[in-house]
Amino acid sequence: RAALTLYCNVIKYYAEGREEFQNDFNDFSPSGFWAKFLPKNKNEAMFVAQLICDGGINKYGLSCAGLTENLLKDIEPTLGLATMSEIDEYLANLDKEEAELKE
């Protein structure tokens, strides 16, 4: 549990751009900061991807593409994005307006 909390805090502080950690965050050496904290396997990497997408700490606007479809279905309502049917309706209205203008 302590390791997970530490890992989450590392990502949070990085996303916040905390000044006191800038030297550590810029240490990409084989024995440096990121070598200690980067995911060690696929499960850890998927956890990080899910945390970034679900946790609201997406500093760089990273896409959640490639994550499981069900994960995206779970969080889609909270994103404030249009549903597929709303998009289809909007595009149909645009097509209709365009056709009316051509007449």
28-56 per-position pLDDT tens digit = 787 887 777 777 777 777 777 776 666 55
Asked whether 59 and 15 are in contact (CB, 8 A), the reply is yes
* Strand locations in 1-103 (E): none
Model confidence at 103: pLDDT above 80: no
Task: Tell me the CA distances in angstroms from 88 to 65, 84, 103, one per residue in order.
Answer: 21, 6, 23
The more confidently predicted of residues 67 and 89 is 89
Q: What pLDDT score was predicted for residue 92?
A: 93
The least confident of 60-69, 78-87, 88-97 is 60-69
> pTM of the full predicted structure?
0.33
- Higher per-residue confidence, 96 vs 34: 96
Give the pLDDT band of residue 60 (cuts 50, 70, 90).
low
d(CA 16, CA 82): 28
Identify the DSSP state of 18: -
How many CA atoms does the CB half-sphere of 19 hold within 13 Å? Answer: 0
